Structure 1
Amino acid sequence: MLDGYGDEGHFVTGWDVDPAGVYSVLSKAGTAAKSMSDTGSAMQGNLEEAASAAGTLTSQYGPYSSTVGLVGSALGQFAQAWGRDLLYIAKRTSKSLDGADQATRCYVAGALEQAANAQREAAKEPKVDLPGEGGGHGGGRPQR
């Protein structure tokens, strides 16, 4: 983290960055994030498939109609409850990795103020909007 300006107006850095080490960690973290994203996508598809396969409830009185069954309904509620958290994790991970990359590139180029700005921006909470929510419902960390 950068400290700011010193007594004589010179920019003072508290960073001691090993760019090769940062890029190695970013590469490994990016691979793990991709795996996590793939798993989340597979889980979403599996939940939809399981909810569909769980059957429906059919009214025995007219008009005959079917609604989602109890298991399907529970799976839908689970997906809805955890969807925001999973999206938050994905956005937070992406923002952190991108910020670390940008800050390191600025540091290597000697642009220490830009590196500090990149770090500050990466630390901000990501906006999370689920599909179908409309604007204004996003915001930082999901609340339970």
Structure 2
Amino acid sequence: MPAWDITPSGVDSVASLVGLAMDDMAKDVKAYGEDMKSAAASAGTIGAGYCGASAPPGAVGIALAVFMDGKMGDVLSLGARSANAVNGAIDATNHYIDGDLRKAATAQRNAGKAPDVEKLLADARKKSDPGEK
């Protein structure tokens, strides 16, 4: 096992900075989604003549929706990986402080694992559709 030389206060400081950056990123992602939704709505519709009903979205609106759906997994994965890395660093540091280097190594190794993107997508879709359970 490699030697460990961790400064817990340094880990805490970096974790705090990463947390702030993640908060900013979440705000940017939310704004990006709202802007894309607005762009899709402003891109026009298929045609006129829909009395009392919304006209179906046009080709640009559909393309934007398909693009967003395709990128959603990447965006969710980025946030989940960042959270895993920060939480893993904190867990590893706590185990290091407790003197359990085996658990510290396990926490460090688990921090780098890729999140389950399909589960993230399913959870995000459930949150966006309150009628779905």
Distance (Å, rounded) in 2 between the aligned partners of 1:48 and 1:59: 21
Distance (Å, rounded) in 2 between the aligned partners of 1:37 and 1:106: 29
Any residues of structure 2 matched to 1:1-144 within 5 Å, and which?
3=1, 13-58=2-47, 66-129=55-118, 130-131=121-122
Q: Give structure 1 stretches of 5+ with no counterpart.
A: 4-12, 135-144
Distance (Å, rounded) in 2 between the aligned partners of 1:125 and 1:133: 17
> Cα distance, 1:67 vs. partner?
2.2
CA separation of 1:70 and 1:99: change in aligned 2, threshold 3 A: same
Task: Supply the RMSD in Å over aligned alpha carbons.
Answer: 2.3
Bigger helix fraction: 2
> Cα distance, 1:116 vs. partner?
1.1
Task: Give TM-score scaled by structure 1 length.
Answer: 0.74
Misfit runs of 4+, over 2 Å: 131-134
Count of aligned positions:
120
CA separation of 1:133 and 1:93: change in aligned 2, threshold 3 A: closer
Q: Percent identity?
A: 37
Bigger strand fraction: 1
Q: Which has the higher contact order (CA 8 A, sep 6+)?
A: 2
Q: Give structure 2 stretches of 5+ with no counterpart.
A: 126-133
